[in-house]
Structure 1
Amino acid sequence: MAVGCLTGNGKGRPVEGSYRLLRRGTDKELPPDLEGEERGRISFGEGILTDGDTSTSLGWKGTTLGEVGLDLAIELGGKYFLDRVVLKGASGIGLVEVYAGGLPAGRVGDEEGPDLGERIDVDLGVEADEIVVHVRSFNRDVKLGEVEVWGASPREPLLFPVPRKVEVEEGPPPEVCEVVAGDDEEARFAAELLARRLEEEFGRRPKIVGKAGGEGCLVVSKDQAIPKEGYRIELGGRSLLAASDKRGLVYGAETLVQLLRSGVRCRVEDGPGMELRGVHLYMPARKDLDFFKRLVRYLIVPMKFNTIFIQVTAGMEFERRPEINRAWEEANRRAAEGKAPPVPHGELGGGSYITKEEVREIVEYAKGYGLEVIPEVQSLSHVTYLTLAYPEIAEDRPEESVVSPYSHCYCPLHPESRRIVFDMVDEVVEVFEPRYVHMGHDEVYHLGICPRCRGKSRAELYAKDVNEIYSYLKGKGLGMMIWADMLQAFRPYSCPEASDLIPKDIILLDFVWYFNMDEDIEDVLLEKGFKVIMGNFYSSHYPRFPSRRRKVVGAEVSTWCGCDERSLGMKGKIYDFVYSANMMWWEGYRDELRWTMTRKVSEIMPHIRSGLGGREDEVKEWLPIKLEGNSPMRGKEFDLSCVPRGRVEMRGVPFEIGDKLVAVEGGRKRWRVYPQREEVEVGLELDGIVFLHACSRNCFRGEVLGLYRMNYEDGSEEEEIVYGWNILEWDRRYARPMSHVLHRHSGYIGTYPADPMWQGKDMEGRDVTLYGYTWRNPHPERKVVSVTLEASDSTDSAVILLALTGRRS
């Protein structure tokens, strides 16, 4: 399995490749004349630049390189997906350009720019068997210690999350006709799960039997020698799935589905890289209870998470204190009517609440798959849901605030505050039956300001509330978790002295890492003796993950939005779940493999989407539709001249791409070039249409750029074109993180209902992405006469349609 540093560099076995040091654009050697000595074709296993030793380097005099520079020609011995090139131990380099097949593939710096520093990363994201890395110094001396090329074989990684060990064997995998489970309850659960999943994927359900048969038989069994949550798969004439516990069996069953989908026969040995791998969700609304179950079944379990945190707030019925639910509903109703500002966390429960029995049902459903479910009962802070019902316990007075009319914190000295919390805890524990309760305690902005608390130590007030709740939980035999920001000194509202006043067996979720990206802030808490979880873990932003993962218990991805498909998809959280799952599970994860993993996520996302949104019928026939364009491929604000033409298959969908495309712009755009609407003739009965499109410029997330109007002989259906949902700009790479800390809670955009059908590079090496979005015809029996593409007046971004293809199931 070739996934990682292809050139070796002390990080693994290199591929059979080599490099040469050449004058720019020629095959004439340019050996170092300042430091080191290398000539000719140097294999990766023998080269100074690929030996993993940064203490040795090569150097060239500035007078030798001048303003022309040096080419490092790298041959890989076969085609690979190339993620990036990393230069280490570098000095004097102001520009790095990478070429694949003679065309630009990536660039960092400027021709006359300053020194780029000791480490230089150049994103690629292309397939190639050789590249040229051109470095330019603008007359400076150049030194270079290491050159790393990161990537993977074209089909790798085969599985996701990536397993520890995969051995591929010759021949296709056998058809699984029988699953043997024996009498073990957990093995039978995994066998039934596997049978259901195979029926969903392939339309055939294997029999569950008690004794092993012959060809096509798969045995599900327990093996206590396998580490916790790990599993072993042997997929051959007589196949095996073995694990020591229920989670391992369930994870292995899901891996088997991926293997059979890939058509590969192999052996797998696997296990987790982190102990706790979690997601944090709002309590779902009643209308989203079925979606919650699909999220568990088709994403959380297959991606090998083991923990769900559910924020309860007022989203669950409280029989002892029904006024909490009434006040929550009323406040959210007023906000929805525009009579009051939005309620903090108002999306939780859909602004309402569900019954205890409904909560118990989804908790037991998740536990049935081996997941741990931890309730979060926000206390001390983020307690608007309590101060709405009991304004007398509020620490802050809304009439004194210019920020919010809602009280954010309760008074830790008010005699009713913890009575209320304990009543809630009792009911939550009754329903969830957890091992731990997450008690919040983050962002306590208002502390020590009410008459009871004024003048008292913030740390002691904070610790008093934590300690009394801790004791109450301990009396029930339960552990406690809280957010950790109040114990971090660099937050302006924190009270770090409290870390010496609370028990050390409280598990801390440390989420303010994104306000201090240059330091491993968890070290402060670890040195105090706490166990730490990476809280609000976002794969789009978290720095130095491979080195930090070894120090903590685990990580959890937060959502902070409604627990429904549209909200999670729009915020990029479904993608974040999938990408983060691999980081938590696979011990070999490296940030240098960002585009390699993104490519794999884009491959499996349609399967996840199918499960979350309801299984889809198989497409029987594709019908490319001829498009009469109004613009050449290179337009005023876009350059799509690199896109292939003619009958082109993209991700299994055939498109007819001509020399012209259709572009439309809003009627209020200044210097408008394109019309506001265009019509495309269709004349077919279809189940749906796949639109191959992009837009010309970035916009606000959720902004409507236009619509497709599907015209029947007697009416029409419309589908909005929404930025960040089903379309993005043409020159943005799919799933490129929105890396500014402002976007930390929603670091991906445009990653859910639209797939990256084609990705390439323009003549300047910029990324080009075309998105495919499928409209499903609610009236497949009615002929679609034509499609009207119409731009919205609210934006200056053009909508660009390159092709459309009809589908019949």
Structure 2
Amino acid sequence: MRVNMTHIVVAHLMAFASLGGVALAQAHSRVVLFDFEAGSEGWWGNPYGGGKCGTEVSDDAPLGSKSLRGWYQDVAKGANVVGPFLPEDAAWRKGEWDRVSFWFKGDGSASDVRFSVDAGQESGGSFSVHVPLDSTEWRRFTFLATRFWNREGRKLALRNAKRVLFGGGGTKSFLVDQISFESPRRDVPLDGPAAQSFSLSLGEKATGDYILRLDPAIPLRQKTMAALSVGLVSPSGERTSARRDITFGKGQPDEIEIPLRAAMRREGEARLSVALADKDTGASLGSGEYGFRVFLPVTRTRQPLTLCPQPKEMTLGRGEFKLDATTKLLTVGTETAEMDWCSDMLRDRLAQWHGLKLKAERWQGVAAPTDGIVLALGGQTALLTGDLEKRLSSLGSEGYVLEATPSRILLKSRGLRGLYNGCHTLLQVVRECTDWPGEPKTKAMAVVDWPSLPVRAATLGVPTNRWGHPNNAPLDPAFFNEFLFNCVARLKLNTIVLVISGGIESKKRPELAGPAAWTHEQVRQVLDFAKRNFIEVIPCVNSLGHANWLVLYHKDLQEDGDHQTLCTGNPKSRQILEEVYDELVDLFGCKTFHIGMDEVRWQTHVTPEEKRCKLCAGRDKAEVFAEQVQWLHGHMKKRGVRTMMWGDQLLYAHNGGPPYATRRAIDRIPRDVIIANWSVAVDGDSSRYFRSKGFSEVIQSNSMGVTREQARHVMGNMAGLWTKTPWLAEHYDHAAVGHSYLTLVQNAEYSWNLCDDVQYAFPRLSPALLEERAGSVLRQMAEQPEPNAGRSQKPVDLRPACNRSTTAWFGLTADDALRHLPKGDVRVAGVRFTLPGSEGDAGRNCIVAGFPEPTAAATIPFSGRAASLCFLHTAHIEPSQRQGFNKRYEPKSANIGVRIGAYEMVYDDGTTATLPIVYPWNVRSWRADRFPYAYASPGLLRFATENGLKRDPAARDVALYVAQWVNPAPTKSITAVRFRSDGTEAVPVLFALTAKEPRE
């Protein structure tokens, strides 16, 4: 039970306490900073660079009797309507606030103003959002603090607000009222045919309480005593009701907030009814019936094994199944190529990792196989034990049941994709349960698993496209395929949208391809690989905005001189698009084509009339947008291909507002278009809106997960990796983690299973989720197969080669140095390392490459054979040199990172083998951020500096990384390891080295 009450408490919140000039609601759900009832003291206009700007009190108000009018006149550069400084000792600063709201009325112009919160330089300076002026009706705007833009990329903490401002230019004006901060809540969507007839909203606080908010001005313009009746039916059928007399209508000094408390014993659909009646006459003033979804907190028990995505049900049994050369791989079911794909993938990966060479056979017997690994499709003889066969019958085609006993592993599904998904679970389980490659095994268990969403996707750029760094870098399709296997297929994602952008040759339009573009044959390598791994590939070509791939080479097609936007009025545009699209449809053989259509940045409103496109002059942009979609949809339909598009231009709250209001095009968009909705962070209710407008297929996009609430409105979830190198968690902008492979881990988890946290519609990348999976999922991604490795691990004594001390760490103070570095034996990613202590020998306990001379190589004595070597190392980059280092990501050689050094293994015959040290591929800086992972590093050792511990006793602000080298010649003896730097700004540092000895 969420709240231990069996009735609703309805209270009309009218009493306010004055705190330093600020009215604070007693319920503490909102603090009203400015209501202007007592005037606008402290507000002023500040023009800079010409013109005038000012403020005055207006009698036009949505609540109470006064509002603030701000105006700009002939402002050439810019001006601010500035509010007074907020009291530093205000009581509301102790509260928790996550959004800003106010009532706003524009002047009807196709323009906007910039609302800013000044948080002071120490807290990030100015944070801003844009507010449209296109409506002359009062509207209530609410902006989450996470939506505010900041030059430094900082997060806005509203408790630090110093003052608020409205910035603008030219000649325009606005009215504003009830500027407020609000406490965190979940905005609860209200469903029902009457939802538009009554102006109210519902929010849920983290405590489980609900807040019902009514706008007292819109339904009734005259102030009236009214009887408010509220009824609630919980998902379990309990009915509660209440009645209160309230003052309602124009002149009401504030919105009406009503806290609702009810017993919510289970999840499901609840019903809310609200009715207003004139207290004297009983005449109805308005009513509404609404449905909403109740969610209860979820307590997840920790699974016995950490996989990704985590199976919905996993139960361990007794014993274990051991795989060896005698293990049979049997398939039961109709012989198909797809069935072979599943068995081939499983067999090949077991051979790669464990040296097993299993022979796949068709089971010809009548009775069920009693031993070996069995892959079976549903519809065959009952093979599973207990009620597992019945459980399987209730699963969809992508679900599966995995039953492992000491004598047999049985994997069964009703569909081939489900069988493939189960194979990946089995491979992850074997990796988790196996101690060393020579004895692969799995614990006895039963797994029943199925996806919550049918579409689990990622948007990826063709890595050879022309835009972004590294410049025009070629990439072997085999490398990309392995990335797809590692980060898409094995995580049970089933769709990729591949953004072309000149990354693929065009035989019809060769001028549009970049110098590193894949040939058709190379593309077929990727498509064939994806097909064998049950991944649907959807090509994406931008068809209006982001059209630089086309208009840079056909400048006559630039709309109003903008190199990003295509002129749709020129017949040549359609001719080229048809040629390019038809060629791609033929090449991909796709069922769906993504036409883009996001972020259309027309410049018409700032282009002098005489320079505007003559073909499109005077045309309504909403009409232009709709016609382009209709034409593209029609063309694709003739080819038997579905159309997918971004949805932001169809939403007022995102890119469909002023100056062109393309949201008006929504009624002209064919309803069988698949909407890729990447606007949930801006408009949490947008997916439900698209569904209400008749679009049956909506995919939440640029997303790291779908919550249980959002899942009602979407068919899938799609991550957005807007980088050419998604395998790198750092890049030239030092902020690549949100577009890296790490997002796919969370995206996979919260697509197969749904995100429990329904307080926010758009889950952010979670450090906790990744850390929980670092020792299993991320390790499995990074590790290379070493089938020749034996049980024995041999730490190498580095002390003879150590040349620096961590207590004098690159000139830093003792509190910033690595004084808390562990010493002695530590285990990282299953490898036993021995760290030298800092006692004696001048405290030298690490090897800095390129010391004392940049070209100097450290030589580490070694004697014997090794199946692999594991290095525990890190890199040091002076903060002042970070910008210079980031420029090294620009050349085409940096497509898997920047080489900063190397380990050179010297064999007894004089030959050598090299492991490049590549940043951030297998090493990163010792200064650990919130996501301190490297794609090719199987694990990391984390600890804290003294200053880190002072800031947070649980801090771990230092990271050392494991780099793995698999010996291509394990029968040869190694005599030494040379460690050298390449002389970049990133200095490699080695702390420990361990050899894994070959199998006997």
Sort the Cα spacing of 1:426 and 1:257 in 2 relative to 1 into closer, same or farther, 3 A.
same
Counterpart of 2:861 in structure 1 is 683
Counterpart of 1:436 in structure 2 is 592
- The whole-number CA distance in structure 1 between the counterparts of 2:614 and 2:95 is 62
CA shift at 1:581, angstroms?
Answer: 0.9
Identify the structure with bigger relative contact order (alpha carbons < 8 Å, sequence gap 6+): 1
CA shift at 1:230, angstroms?
Answer: 0.5
- Does residue 175 of the first structure (1) align with residue 289 of the second (2)? no
Q: Judge conservation of contact 1:187–1:222 (CA < 8 Å) in 2.
A: no
Sort the Cα spacing of 1:730 and 1:587 in 2 relative to 1 into closer, same or farther, 3 A.
same
- The whole-number CA distance in structure 1 between the counterparts of 2:304 and 2:818 is 28
Counterpart of 1:270 in structure 2 is 449
Counterpart of 2:570 in structure 1 is 414
Q: Judge conservation of contact 1:622–1:653 (CA < 8 Å) in 2.
A: no
- The whole-number CA distance in structure 1 between the counterparts of 2:413 and 2:5 is 37
Single out whichever of 552-561 and 213-222 deviates more from structure 2: 213-222
Counterpart of 2:723 in structure 1 is 561
Q: Judge conservation of contact 2:746–2:769 (CA < 8 Å) in 1.
A: no
- The whole-number CA distance in structure 2 between the counterparts of 1:384 and 1:93 is 47
Counterpart of 1:234 in structure 2 is 403
Counterpart of 2:777 in structure 1 is 604
State the TM-score, normalizing by the size of structure 1: 0.67
Counterpart of 1:326 in structure 2 is 511
CA shift at 1:298, angstroms?
Answer: 3.6
- The whole-number CA distance in structure 2 between the counterparts of 1:618 and 1:222 is 38
After superposition, what is the alpha-carbon deviation per residue over 1:639-688, rounded to whole angstroms, capped at 9, x for unaligned? 43444321222222222213325579999xxxxx9997987551225654
Counterpart of 2:701 in structure 1 is 535
Q: SS in structure 1 opposite 2:306?
A: coil
**For residue 200 of structure 1, what is the amino acid of its counterpart?**
Q
Comparing both structures, which one devotes a greater share of its residues to helix?
Answer: 1
- The whole-number CA distance in structure 2 between the counterparts of 1:442 and 1:565 is 25
- Does residue 622 of the first structure (1) align with residue 794 of the second (2)? yes
Q: 2:613 aligns with which of 442, 447, 450?
A: 450
Q: 2:308 aligns with which of 122, 139, 160?
A: 160
- Does residue 505 of the first structure (1) align with residue 667 of the second (2)? no
Sort the Cα spacing of 1:117 and 1:456 in 2 relative to 1 into closer, same or farther, 3 A.
closer
Sort the Cα spacing of 1:568 and 1:421 in 2 relative to 1 into closer, same or farther, 3 A.
farther
Alignment of 1:641-656 (within 5 A): 641-656=819-834
**For residue 290 of structure 1, what is the amino acid of its counterpart?**
A
Q: SS in structure 2 opposite 1:759?
A: strand
Counterpart of 1:382 in structure 2 is 546
Paired-residue identity, %: 21
Q: 1:472 aligns with which of 604, 620, 635?
A: 635
Q: SS in structure 2 opposite 1:308?
A: strand
Counterpart of 1:208 in structure 2 is 360
State the TM-score, normalizing by the size of structure 2: 0.55
- The whole-number CA distance in structure 2 between the counterparts of 1:632 and 1:653 is 22
Counterpart of 2:198 in structure 1 is none
**For residue 770 of structure 1, what is the amino acid of its counterpart?**
A
Counterpart of 2:424 in structure 1 is 254
CA shift at 1:579, angstroms?
Answer: 2.7
CA shift at 1:191, angstroms?
Answer: 2.8
- The whole-number CA distance in structure 2 between the counterparts of 1:569 and 1:300 is 21
**For residue 478 of structure 1, what is the amino acid of its counterpart?**
V
- The whole-number CA distance in structure 1 between the counterparts of 2:753 and 2:917 is 37
Q: Judge conservation of contact 2:849–2:856 (CA < 8 Å) in 1.
A: no
Alignment of 1:703-722 (within 5 A): 707=901, 710=904
Runs of 5+ consecutive residues of structure 1 not aligned to the other structure: 1-8, 11-47, 57-89, 95-109, 121-147, 333-349, 399-406, 668-672, 738-748
**For residue 585 of structure 2, what is the amino acid of its counterpart?**
V
CA shift at 1:512, angstroms?
Answer: 4.3
**For residue 655 of structure 1, what is the amino acid of its counterpart?**
F
- The whole-number CA distance in structure 1 between the counterparts of 2:990 and 2:409 is 48
- The whole-number CA distance in structure 2 between the counterparts of 1:258 and 1:431 is 34
Counterpart of 1:367 in structure 2 is 531
- Does residue 765 of the first structure (1) align with residue 954 of the second (2)? yes
Sort the Cα spacing of 1:587 and 1:803 in 2 relative to 1 into closer, same or farther, 3 A.
same
Counterpart of 1:631 in structure 2 is 805
Q: 1:585 aligns with which of 752, 762, 778?
A: 752
**For residue 583 of structure 2, what is the amino acid of its counterpart?**
E
Counterpart of 1:44 in structure 2 is none
Sort the Cα spacing of 1:437 and 1:568 in 2 relative to 1 into closer, same or farther, 3 A.
farther
- The whole-number CA distance in structure 1 between the counterparts of 2:859 and 2:5 is 59
- The whole-number CA distance in structure 2 between the counterparts of 1:731 and 1:586 is 33
Sort the Cα spacing of 1:779 and 1:368 in 2 relative to 1 into closer, same or farther, 3 A.
closer
Q: Judge conservation of contact 1:705–1:799 (CA < 8 Å) in 2.
A: no
Alignment of 1:86-101 (within 5 A): none
CA shift at 1:221, angstroms?
Answer: 2.4
- The whole-number CA distance in structure 2 between the counterparts of 1:495 and 1:267 is 52
**For residue 959 of structure 2, what is the amino acid of its counterpart?**
L
Q: Judge conservation of contact 1:91–1:118 (CA < 8 Å) in 2.
A: no
- Report the number of matched residues: 624
Counterpart of 2:713 in structure 1 is 551
RMSD of aligned residue pairs (Cα, Å): 4.4
CA shift at 1:464, angstroms?
Answer: 1.1
**For residue 475 of structure 1, what is the amino acid of its counterpart?**
K
Counterpart of 2:928 in structure 1 is 732
After superposition, what is the alpha-carbon deviation per residue over 1:600-625, rounded to whole angstroms, capped at 9, x for unaligned? 144233432357xx777536643323
Q: Judge conservation of contact 1:693–1:799 (CA < 8 Å) in 2.
A: yes
Sort the Cα spacing of 1:477 and 1:630 in 2 relative to 1 into closer, same or farther, 3 A.
closer
After superposition, what is the alpha-carbon deviation per residue over 1:197-248, rounded to whole angstroms, capped at 9, x for unaligned? 3222322233323234433352422246431311111111343211111110
Q: Judge conservation of contact 1:664–1:674 (CA < 8 Å) in 2.
A: no
- Does residue 754 of the first structure (1) align with residue 937 of the second (2)? yes
**For residue 647 of structure 1, what is the amino acid of its counterpart?**
D
Sort the Cα spacing of 1:521 and 1:113 in 2 relative to 1 into closer, same or farther, 3 A.
closer
Q: SS in structure 1 opposite 2:418?
A: helix
**For residue 626 of structure 1, what is the amino acid of its counterpart?**
L
Q: Judge conservation of contact 1:582–1:589 (CA < 8 Å) in 2.
A: no
Sort the Cα spacing of 1:377 and 1:778 in 2 relative to 1 into closer, same or farther, 3 A.
same
Q: Judge conservation of contact 1:395–1:409 (CA < 8 Å) in 2.
A: yes
Q: SS in structure 2 opposite 1:170?
A: strand
Counterpart of 2:490 in structure 1 is 302
Q: SS in structure 2 opposite 1:647?
A: strand
- The whole-number CA distance in structure 1 between the counterparts of 2:570 and 2:923 is 52
Sort the Cα spacing of 1:437 and 1:690 in 2 relative to 1 into closer, same or farther, 3 A.
same
Q: Judge conservation of contact 1:679–1:787 (CA < 8 Å) in 2.
A: yes
- The whole-number CA distance in structure 1 between the counterparts of 2:690 and 2:419 is 35
**For residue 603 of structure 1, what is the amino acid of its counterpart?**
S
Q: SS in structure 1 opposite 2:565?
A: coil
Q: SS in structure 2 opposite 1:622?
A: strand
- The whole-number CA distance in structure 1 between the counterparts of 2:982 and 2:586 is 54
Q: SS in structure 2 opposite 1:171?
A: strand
CA shift at 1:488, angstroms?
Answer: 2.6
